Structure formats: structure tokens, C-alpha cells
Structure 1
């Protein structure tokens, strides 16, 4: 038996490029909805649908609290059950269809101003997203144990996720403005354009979920008898005894809070601080994803050259530099009018954010293997539910903070053009200052992560020996 065949027999599978792209298309599909929610739902709720910013902020918090209860239930259910279409991949289809429907309904103003309708549709959307995202995260660890392959797989996944992010960041404002009767994205008249745009993005996303389903083959999965006794309390047990998982979980909460705050404030920043057009907004928001196409393919090489920890430090520091540039440029009137400087700062910031937060997903299979090594139980669903709880906790902060800050600084949702100097300063803090503070905390947290590639390879080899 050749070395390659021998390693594959031990679970260290190599995937074809079609399989890698197929897996990555699942994240592309989810981001067509997820990024739309992160970047534009608050703007839609306040300026188009007619909710008060404080009401929207509180609703975002409630939805995330529901997720905290829902995620472990989903993770436990996924680990304990083996649907006919696949332990993890089946949910791409089963939950993908209703997810698409509720994503479209979130951007329908048939009950304009109704807080109840907003709650029902957003809660349903969030629960269905979890029903896809938790098993999709576990799907990564079920394809192979090979750390180099997982790094490549994660790079492809993040590359495609950022394709979705770019399609949303740049495409949404352009398409909404083109379809809107008044050519704007932040008025009540644009409501029909938002609904049509989300329908297009949702249907495309559903097709991509079906493609992901067709290309993923689960080969590193525990026997049904070994997961039959999985229970919700395993989530807390695993969190307590798995130190790398705890570190990763706290990194998730800070990283996603940072992204959620910055992304949701970006559209407000371009409209009110820079007074840009929908085209300017499309460029600015699109630059949040562009660096992925340059740097994510280089991640395997960068990691080999400098290691995981140094890579995180370099790119998180780059993001902080970009945020500082954005703040300084925005505070100097002569510089703020030079849009190219704003774009440069956004590019620098996004370069750091994309690489650091993109690669963190490659650490999830590592903490799953560490848990299996120490306990003998490979509870991928539970682990992904736990990371899901923390990244949604980060999303909760990211959803609540912008709404509260906007309410505190007196944001006028009826004015589609101008805001007070205080409101503009509050928006700038959301775009640059608060995310930078969160990144400093994230750098400290990830510095405590101790699972090197060498350690993980030894762990995986030992696990396979036990299984044989």
C-alpha cells in the first residue's frame, strides 16, 4: 500500500478541487443571507421598515438569546441522529428551503412598522440558519483529519464565503438602488426593491446549498452507537474540560462582535459621514471582501512560513492599523472628501479582518480532535453548537451596540441625507473605534491557543490507531 493510500485509510483523506469548491459553496450560499442580515437588516428596519433604532437593537438581542438556547439543542440532535441523506449534509437541503423563504420575508414590508412581524420572521430565519450552520460546521471535520487538507479546505471555504460577502456588500446597494423608484437604499420607497433583491439572492443561495450537498462525502464520522448517549449537558462538560475550545470560543465572541458592529455601521457611515452615493457605498462595502481574493489563497503558505500564532498577530494588527487610518481620515474634513483614502483604509482594515477571522474556522476541527483524543467521543455537532453560541453572542453584541449607540447619539431615521455632528461621531465610533478595541481583546485571547500543527497531527494519528 502506498504512503498516500495508507494515510487515507487512516482518515487523512485528500479531496479533489471539485469537492473543495463544493464544500465552500455552502458558505457562499449562507453568506448571501448572513451577510445581508449583518450589513443591511438594521438599515432596512430603521429607514425602510420604520422601526425605532432602540427597538431594533433590543430585537437583535432577543433573537441572539433564543439562539443561545437553540444552538445546543441543534448540536445535540445532529450528533445523535443519522438522517438518510447524511449525518450533516442532509440539513443543507432540509433547512435550506424554509431558510430561503424566511430570508425573503424578512425584507417584505407588507406589515410595515409591525414589531411582531419583524420578530416572527427574524427569529424563524435565525433558527433555520442555525439548523444549517451547525451541521455545516461539523461537516468540515467529517471530510478528513489531514491538517494541511483542512487548511486548504478552509481557505477555499473562506474564499468562497467572501465571494458571497462581495456579492452582498457591493451588489445589494447597487441592485436595490437600481430597482428603487427614487434610486435610494434608505427610504420607504425602496421597500419593494429590497424584497426583490433578497428573493434573487435567496434563490441563488438555495441552488448553491444543493450543489454543496452533492459534493460532500462524510468519511470521518463516529458510529451511531458511539453518539447515542450524547446529551445537551455534554456541551457544558466539553467546554469545561477542553481548554483549546474555551479559548477559541472566546475568540469567536470578540471577533464576531467586531465584524457585526463594523459591518452594520458601514452603510450608515457611507451615507451620512462621507455622503457617498450608492455606487460609493458598493465600493466601500465591497472592499470588505476584496482582500480575500488576494490573501486567502496565500494562507496555507503564510501559515507554514510563520505559524498560526504569528499569522493571527500580524493580520489582527493590520486590521487595527486600518481602523486607525479610517478614524483619522474621517476626522479631518480635507481628507474625508478624498474617497480614495477612505477606500485605502477600508482595504487595509479588511485585509487583517478577513485573514484572521477566516482562518479561525480551521481551528474548529482541531478542538474537535482534541476533545476526541481526551474523551473518546467525537461530538462535532456539540462543539459547533458551542462555537455557534459564542459567535452568535458576538453577533448579539454587534447587533445591539449599533442600535443603542444610534439611539444614544440621536440618530434621525427620517432624514435620508444629514445627521448631527454627534450622530456622525457615534457612527464613526461604530466603524472604527469599538471594533479596534475588540480586536485588541481578540489578540490577547488567541495568544493563549497552544495546539500547534505538530501536536494536532500526533493527536489525529493516535486517534486513528485507537480506532483500528
Structure 2
């Protein structure tokens, strides 16, 4: 018994720290907080701008594109900055406070109608929000790799994190319309047009998000970080050098692009699919979209056990294949008139698809600390901020790509937004977006992840060797 305890202490002294469930929940609360704020922005800001604030949809679309361009420039600057500096409150966790407070402020101001219709005000608040979000999100991603080197603990940490992230997604997707009705009881539809109700709703979500960021700050302890002398020469150019010389990072980056493009395409098509292909109601759309998150509450807690049983790659293969099967079921059900009248079958297919997508795309975040360790093993510097800035660029690139594809496909098939019913060719195009294109992207993702070489034995050996160097 004493030898076992001494061995555990020895491992912890070498960076293989064990994390309590409270620490895992504390870290996961950071992702829940960011989802409460940014998912609200992602799902509802365009509606607010066009229907309440008074912006033209085309003008708002251009603004959203410009903000993404700003992100591409800003993300690597933030990654470099956090790697080079060591704030008194913590190298990475400090930004949960330093960035979280202005993030909350800008989020609330985005839904304030004091300068109704002012494009300048919209730009200032939305760009400010996006920059503050990066100032929280990039260090938060790097914080993951600073808590422990233990791959089993990283797996547990990621499963709790993604469970809580999906709690945030549900709280926003299904909760915002409910809260709006509380603040605007005269509104009979799902979406209030009252600017005061929107402002109060975002104030509520923003304040809860800030409280969760502070809780995350209180529970995280940075134990695996480089000395300031080893990161003082970090520069933006290291981003490119890291990408060129870190093969596992390149593989993960391409997986991120593919996975987020797949999610963006499928999510954008959901409302069109229910309305025009199935003739469903708003309530049925709510259930369909809600099933995109619900499997997380069943399967994310099971990830450590599943991974132990089938291995890292085996888990990716299984759940990517499950997602493809779900998409094939959606396609088949939608092509057979006798089947598509039964929404229960559609829900079952959506649940199967979402199960595969959630587990595969959720666990990919556990690979980020691994590619950070591989870079440290290769060149001696643990530049977590830069690596997370890189992954941020690639997942935003995937989302941007996924945002373009639906519009192009709908234009190609002759979709008419004024028409109550669409042509069979237009319905087929919507089905491509829901099932066919995402399935192709998932097959590509399966090939990409097959090239990933850092299995658990390899990464554990790398981490032990890194710790022995430091000793």
C-alpha cells in the first residue's frame, strides 16, 4: 500500500496529476460559461440585428464576415501574448477574469438598443465582443494542457467539459425563447420583438456566464507550464513553425476543419429540412434540434470507459461510423413517403447521428494537450497559447466553410424563400445538406484521424521523457 502511494506521489511530481471531480466540473464550467454567452450571440444576434435593432440583413452578413477576418488576425496575437506573459493571477486562468469581465459587458451591450440602427455601434460592440471572447477562449484551451499530463485524466476532464458545454447549448437553444417570454409576457410567438426583453435576457445569461468563469478560475491549478525564461522569445512566427514541424498538430487541424464544416452545414440545414422536406411544426423543429445535444448527457460521461475498452482511434472510428449510419437513415427515411410521415423515425435517426457527432467531435479536444506535448518534446517549448490559437483558426475556418456551402447548394437547386413548398430538386438539395455532404465530410474525417500517430502509450512515454528532462 505504501509503495503504491509513493508511486502515485512520484508520478504526480512528474506532472501526472490526478484531478478531483470538483476540479473537472470547475474546468468544465468555463466552457458552459462561454456557451451561455457566445452561443446566444451565434444563434440570436443576427435575428436581433435584423428584426429588433433594424439592420439590413446584407449589411449584417458583411459585418459577420469582417468579424471573422478580424479573428484570423487577432487569434495568433492573443496566443503569442499569453505564452509570453505570466500574469499574477495565473498564466492562463487569469484571462478568465481579465477577459471575462469585458466579454460579459460587450455581450450585454450587443443586445442594447440605445443606438437603434447605428452600424458603427453594432461594429464596435460585436468586434469588441469577438476579441474579448478570443481573450478568454484561447487561454482557456491552453489551461486544459496545464492541469496535468495524464492522458486518462485529460480524457475525464474532456468528457466533463463537453457534457457541460452541451448543457450551455441546450440552455441557449431551448431556454432563450422561454426567458424572452418571461421578460415580455405580451409576446405570443417564440421570439420577442421587445428590445428590453432581449437586453434583460442577455444580462441574465451574461452574468451567469461570468459567475461560472469565476468558479472555473477558482478550481483550476496550473501545474504543467513552461518557465518564463523558456517562453520569453515566443513570437507570432512560431505559429507557422509549429504548424510545419508538428505533424500531429497538422492532422488535428485538418480534422477540426472537416468536423466543424460538417457541423455547420448540418446545423444550418435543420430548419429547412423540417419545414420544407417534412412539413413539420416549430415544436417538431425544437425537438429535432434539441436531439443534437441530448446524447451528450448519456454518452459523454461514458467516454473514459469506452476509450479504455476500444482505444482512442477505435472510439473515433466507431462513433464517426455511427454518425454516418444516422445520416444514411435520415436520407432513406426522407426518400420514402410512407416513412417520412412518422416523425418518431426521424427523431431516432437524428439521435443516432447526433450520438456519433457529439462523441467524436467532443473527444477531439482531448487531443489538443497531446499535440502541445509533442511540440514540447520536439523543440523544448510548451507554447500552449499558440497551439490553441491555431486550432481556433482552423475550427473557425471550418465553420466559415460550412457557412458558405448551404447558401451555394440552395442557390444551385433553385430554392425559393418566398415559396411555401419547394420543388423536388430543391428538397433534394436540402437533403444533401442534412445527410449527404455531412456524411462525406465524416468519411474524410475518419481518413484524417487514421493518420494520427499519438496513441496513449506513445504520448505517455513522451510526457515522461519531457518530465525527466526538466528534472
Taking structure 2 as the reference length, the TM-score comes to 0.90
Cα–Cα, structure 1 residues 82 and 308, in superposed 2: closer, same or farther, change >3 Å? same
Which residue of the other structure, out of 443, 449, 452, is the alignment partner of 2:452? Answer: 449
Shift of 1:101: 2.6
Quote the Cα distance in structure 1 between the aligned partners of 2:50 and 2:409.
13
2:280, 2:47 → 1: CA distance?
16
CA shift in 2, pair 1:27/1:217, >3 Å: same
The separation in 2 between residues aligned to 1:203 and 1:22, in whole angstroms, is 17
Q: Indicate how the Cα distance of structure 1 residues 175 and 261 shifts in structure 2: closer, same or farther if over 3 A, else same.
A: farther
- 1: CA distance, partners of 2:169 / 2:448: 26
Greater RCO between the two (CA within 8 Å, min separation 6)?
Answer: 1
Q: 1:109 to 1:336 in 2, by over 3 A?
A: farther
User: 1:95–1:400: structure 2 CA closer, same or farther, 3 Å change rule?
Assistant: farther
Tell me, yes or no, if structure 1 residue 183 matches structure 2 residue 188: yes
Query: 285, 291, 294: which one pairs with 2:289?
Result: 285
Tell whether 2:428 aligns with 1:436. no
Quickly say closer, same or farther: Cα 1:426–1:101, change in 2 above 3 A: farther
In 1, the alpha carbon distance for the partners of 2:239 and 2:225 equals 18
CA shift, 1:411, in A, is: 5.1
Name which of 372, 384, 389 aligns with 2:388: 384
Partner residue of 1:418?
420
**1:279-358 alignment runs, 5 A limit:** 279-358=283-362
Greater CA drift, 163-172 or 333-342: 333-342
- 2:68 is the counterpart of 1:64: yes
Q: Structure 2 vs 1, CA of residues 273 and 69 (structure 1 numbering), >3 Å: closer, same or farther?
A: same
CA gap 1:100/1:53 in 2 versus in 1, 3 angstroms = same
Question: 224, 229, 248: which is aligned to 1:225?
Answer: 229
Matches within 5 A, 1:260-271: 260-271=264-275
Partner of 2:94: 90
* CA contact 2:330–2:346 (8 Å) conserved in 1: yes
How big is the shift at 1:308? 1.2
The residue number in structure 1 matching 2:138 is 134
Show CA shifts across 1:135-171 (max 9, x none).
Answer: 0000011111111111111111111111112222222
Tell me, in whole angstroms, the C-alpha distance in 2 between the residues paired with 1:389 and 1:28: 21
Check conservation: 2:296, 2:359, Cα contact below 8 A.
yes
User: Which whole-Å CA distance do the structure 1 matches of 2:437 and 2:181 have between them?
Assistant: 29
> What is the deviation of 1:426?
4.7
Alpha-carbon separation, structure 1, partners of 2:460 and 2:289 = 39
1:443 deviates by 1.4
Shift of 1:429: 3.6
Change (3 A) 1:446 1:174: same
Bigger shift: 18-27 or 426-435?
426-435
Q: CA 1:330 to 1:42, structure 2 compared with 1: closer, same or farther past 3 Å? A: farther
Q: Partners of 1:272 and 1:194 in 2: how far apart?
A: 29
Q: Is the 8 A contact 2:51 2:193 kept in 1?
A: no
Instruction: Give the secondary-structure state (helix, strand or coil) at the position aligned to 2:193.
Output: helix
Q: Distance in 2 between matches of 1:85 and 1:230?
A: 21
The CA deviation at 1:119 is 3.8
* 2:78 aligned to which of 70, 74, 88: 74
Partner of 2:34: 30
In structure 2, the partner of 1:15 is 19
Q: Give the Cα separation in 2 of the matches to 1:334 and 1:41.
A: 39
Specify whether residues 235 and 296 from structure 1 end up closer, same or farther in structure 2 by C-alpha distance, changes over 3 A only.
same
The residue that corresponds to 2:126 in the other structure is 122
Q: CA RMSD in A?
A: 2.7
1:366 Cα shift? 0.4
**Distance of aligned partners of 1:330 and 1:48 in 2 relative to their CA distance in 1, 3 Å threshold:** farther
Compared CA separation, residues 46 and 215, structure 1 to 2 (3 A): same
SS in 1 for 2:174: helix
Residue of 195, 198, 204 corresponding to 1:200: 204
Shift of 1:215: 0.5
Q: Check the 8 A contact 1:39/1:266 in 2, yes or no.
A: no
**CA distance change for structure 1 residues 268 and 189 in 2, over 3 Å: closer, same or farther?**
farther
Gaps of 5+ in 2: none
TM (norm. structure 1) is 0.90
Decide whether the 8 Å contact of 1:166 with 1:288 is kept in 2: no
For the Cα contact (< 8 Å) 2:156–2:304, is it kept in 1?
yes
User: How far apart in 1 are the matches of 2:127 and 2:35?
Assistant: 18
Q: Measure, in 2, the Cα distance between the counterparts of 1:405 and 1:117.
A: 33
Matched residues in 2 for 1:403 and 1:176: separation?
29
For residue 102 of structure 1, the aligned residue among 91, 96, 106 is 106
